[in-house]
Amino acid sequence: MDKITQISINSDRLHHRINTLAQIGQQPSGSICRLAFSPEDLEGRATVKQWMLEAGMTVSTDVAGNLIGRYQGKSPTAPALGTGSHIDTVPTGGCYDGALGVLAGIEVVHTLKNHNLQLHHPLEVIVFADEESTMIGAQAIAGTVLLDAPDRYQSKAGESIQGCLARVGGNWDNLATARRSRADLVAFVELHVEQGAILEQKGVSIGIVQGVVGMERLKITIIGKANHAGTTPMEMRQDALIAAAELILAVREIALKMPSQPVATVGYLNVLPNAVNIIPGQVELSVDMRDLSDNCLQEMLAQLHNKIILIAHSTNTTISTTPLLSVKPTLATPEIQYSIESVCKQLNLNYDYLPSRAGHDALEIGRITNMGMIFVPSQGGFSHSEAEYTSPEHCTQGANVLLQTLLLLDQSH
């Protein structure tokens, strides 16, 4: 490796910042509540902005509320290389989800500054607004925001998105101007904790993400007939819960039979009237399907609808579906995957390829430019809780892989 690839990040500085940010919004349980646009989020953003400035970046906030640190390149007119993630959390979040990607990005820039190095391209570290709920920050950059439907983006607390964006320096009315393209963002690489247990179980240090899965989410309503549990013969029942049970098993079976190994989940169930001595007359349930292949998702939906017809007939119930969410998958750019693999080999780190089955900002950014993701192990597969943990060693390895990948991409573009 030549001189520029001999450098490595400052592990102590990275972990000090991880621990410092974790104190903002920390709850008595040890979990972190730093909801987007909350006072805790604003405090976290101010802290991160200061670290960006210390790393030698100029800092701005776009109209979508994205906090963007920019480290100038030798060619200021060249399109930027991008990295980053988010710092907002779920109500009971952990220290690493999103935050690692942001802080590792800042550490990459700080390392370049300490070695008096500039890339050819400018390097941007982006803190995307509200990843855990609306994903408005990433969607605005990708141009996928529904500009005529602001009510779809209100906060968890029911606040209008217009007010939320104004609070962090954004502006809903000008949201379309946040859209970017390959002409000013040549590639984007996001470092993230896996949020699953695959890497840990395999004893692998680095995950090379093949892409971020698409999602199809439905609400299914089953209407039967509530009746007395003791006086209604079995053959005369219209039991909505029996139909739901068959449907739940069908969802599982559909996923298991698909060759690409998608996942499908029924995670919500509401039974009415939900009494011990009444035959269930109505059931509402959710179906969540995820895969890297949109063709697979559409085939699963088609099979599910066929099953619904059969189950409704056999149980004498009425079954209806309501689409809740449809997100197309985004594949990681092969060149970036190969660059990450090359870096892992140079650094003597074992690696494996895997899909991301959770949504990330990279899902949206990959719609407008070359995209890649680097995963590091999550102990026990835990995330979105106080149990979320990735070792300092793995965080450091991930940040160094990010650094070296960005250096490679700078040379190849």
Q: Could you report the per-residue pLDDT of 274-325, keeping only the tens digit for each?
A: 999 999 999 999 999 999 999 999 999 999 999 999 999 999 999 999 999 9
Do 302 and 245 reside in the same domain of the chain?
A: yes
In a domain, 381, yes or no: yes
Spatial contact of 300 and 216, defined as CB atoms under 8 Å apart = yes
Kindly state whether residues 53 and 180 are assigned to the same domain. yes
Helix (H) or strand (E) holding 374: strand 370-376
- Interval 46-74 mean pLDDT: 98
- Domain contains 2: no
Residues 80 and 187 in one domain: yes
Q: Which amino acid would we find at residue 108?
A: V
192 is in an annotated binding site: yes
3-state DSSP assignment of residue 336: helix
Query: Is the domain of 261 the same as that of 337?
Result: no
The response to whether 290 counts as a known ligand-binding position is: yes
Q: How confident is the model at residue 3 (pLDDT cuts 50, 70, 90)?
A: very low
Q: Is 313 annotated as a binding residue?
A: no
Report pLDDT digits (tens) over 231-290: 999 999 999 999 999 999 999 999 999 999 999 999 999 999 999 999 999 999 999 999
Residue 151 is assigned to a ligand binding site: no
pLDDT-derived band of residue 132, with 50, 70 and 90 as boundaries? Answer: very high
45 is in an annotated binding site: no
Average pLDDT over residues 120-127: 98
What CATH number should be reported for the domain holding residue 14?
3.40.630.10
Q: Is 305 annotated as a binding residue?
A: no
> How many domains does the chain fold into?
2
Say whether both 321 and 334 belong to one domain.
Answer: no
Which pLDDT value is given to residue 230?
97
What does the alpha-carbon distance between residue 213 and residue 215 come to, in Å, rounded to a whole number?
7
Q: How far apart are the first and last CA of the chain?
A: 19
CATH number of the CATH domain containing 295: 3.30.70.360
User: Are residues 20 and 146 located together in one domain of the fold?
Assistant: yes
Rounded to 5 degrees, φ, ψ at 378 are -110, 120
Domain boundary among 295, 325, 355: 325
103 and 163 inside one domain: yes
- For 255, the domain range is 213-325
**Rounded CA separation 346/91 (Å):** 39
97 is in an annotated binding site: yes
Mean per-residue pLDDT, 211-226: 97
Q: How far apart, in whole angstroms, are the C-alpha atoms of residue 68 and residue 389?
A: 27
Q: Are residues 22 and 130 in the same domain?
A: yes
